[in-house]
Structure 1
Amino acid sequence: MSAASFLVVNARLIDPGSGLDRPGALWVRDGVIAALGEVPAVAAAAPARVIDARGRALLPGLVDLGFGLPADAADARAHLAAAARGGVTAVVSPDPMRVAARGLPRIHAPPAGVAWLRPHDPAFGAGVVAAGAYATRLGLAGLPEAAEVAAVQRVIAAVRTGREPHHLARLSTAAALAQVRQARAEGLPLSCDIGINHLHLTELDIGFYDAHCHLRPPLRTQRDRMALAQGLADGTIAALVSDHTVLGPDDKLAPFAETVPGAAGAGLLFSLAYKWARDSGLPLSRALACVTSGPAALAGLAGGRLAVGAPADLCLADLDDDWLAPPAAPGAGIAATPFAGMMQPGRVCATWVGGHPAWETSF
């Protein structure tokens, strides 16, 4: 058998698309899921590699709708390899490129026929933190929520007129989310996503001018964060993304307002999605749809599901094992994240893309 053929036994199979969550086995043959559930006799007899999952979770590979890529192909491979360590098997990037490397997450452009936008009205200025009392206390220029709300209002008006699908990337405010919820209730073809940073952090995490928390859009209030979490839980928000930003070694080595906005998110998507899923109390098979079946459907991809005939884009994770995100250091670049040095729940043990290993650790 080829390297893209193997059998996983004693796994906890989780498929958010179908609601599946039960023990079982999964057979990969020539890069495609050939069977799942009970071990088929032909798979048991075949001389394929057998992987004992020992009760770990086997789920579809994650689909990241917000992943920035560097222009250099060699650098892009390093960023994609980091994404694979977080269970990602496909990324959507506004600047897709060809990277010839088997076993790395696949790169896709935003789907044709869908306007893919980041809502921001520049008329409201270029603040570096959320406008309000905390911005005043820090002495930093604030960006009001109206910058996002006004942009979303215009998008909804355009969708209502033309009925063409639009996707709003990286919402950050409760007010804008309420507009999206109402538009979707009217049946308008509108979807949205949020980033891992805005799901877990608020403006208070900036602390003493932590440049890793200089993001675009800026971190907002606890009220906004809680509204985003609720929107993810009720399905108003279709996808959770890493919002991985390509940063140079010196991009965070300046006074807060002069640093480059953004944060690295490669390698963190599964753990931070799992943390939210666990905290939300939702069934895991439902909660993880925001990083698997949901974004795959939005992007028109064949992955994001455990089903016979689907590509063997898979993530094997130990839900009981925590791991330490590498500590931040000057010139961290790909590791420049607000979560540096923090314990994260759920360790990805292996990631396969088309049945080929993109990341494997001892398990």
Structure 2
Amino acid sequence: MESLFQMITNVVFNANVPLYLIALIGAWALIWWTYDNFKSVIQIIKSILTPYFQPNENKGFVEKYGKWAVITGATDGIGKQYSKELAKHGMNIVLISRTESKLIEVAKEIESMYSVKTKYVAVDFGNGKEIYEKIKEELKSMDIGVLVNNVGRMYDFPDDLDHISEELLWQIININIGAVTMMSRIFIPQMKANQRGMIVNISSGSECQPTPLMTVYASSKVYIRNFTLALRKELEEHNVQVQLVTPMFVQTKMNNYSTSVMKGSILVPDVESYTRSAVFTLGKSSQTNGYWSHGLQYGCMKLVPEFIRTCVSFRMNKKFRDEYYAQQTI
């Protein structure tokens, strides 16, 4: 039986397909394959160069989007740093998270560092539908220009699905899927009416392939990716921008289960460096990994067949689980 390659070769040459046409098809495929896999790095380079070639695009966030930014999951990690970075750019900040004492602390910190106003709303996104009326009521009279859907829930450590409690699984679904959906829906009508606005949805590199031992978490991030890309198309005619941010590993509390991740490296930046870079792409890039080394990682991962990426992620998460158990015995 002849190989698939031989069959294709016979069809091409027996049909007298011109070689230049084959070369054009190959070049076209290579260009888009490279762009799709290394899109984030290309977009970061574009972000750096845009102010030099399009000075009018270098407006401040307040001028482009409005006075207030809402950040969910705002008291730790990437959410807290987004709050600080946007305040640095002159935006007033609405902090939304679960623990009121932490919200008060972060609000005071931001107001002491920057000449901006803050407001906070204490809600637990794990509670699902019941919290959104409170958010609507608290923010109904405010001009919201930027929404950062950052809040997320991970496993405590990588593990088999049947070892994860039902309570935690519902929290992951309510927080990772419910919050990004309902928070966007709350503010879209206002942004459409104002003909301006920015929605930033924080995904994860785990969206890149099926991820054993983080099955539900990784699947929820696939939802965020597809939700964001579809929503961007819906809103572009209303001058409302939607950005997908897909970080790889960052030194945050969410990754405490792994001693190797928390050591940090050029591939695992600290949260301040990561977020500063991610906020730099705001308004300049519609889809980004947020950090140059993350863009390279993501692109290189996509060059590998999905079944291999799945096997590698399985082995990696087994290692992380072992690290977690080792910490418990100390």
Normalising by the smaller structure, the TM-score range is: 0.3 to 0.5
Question: RCO (CA 8 Å, sep 6+): is it higher in 1 or 2?
Answer: 1
- Which of structures 1 and 2 has the bigger CA Rg? 2
Q: What TM-score does the superposition give when structure 1 sets the normalisation length? A: 0.32
Q: What TM-score does the superposition give when structure 2 sets the normalisation length? A: 0.34
The structure where strand makes up a greater share of residues is 1
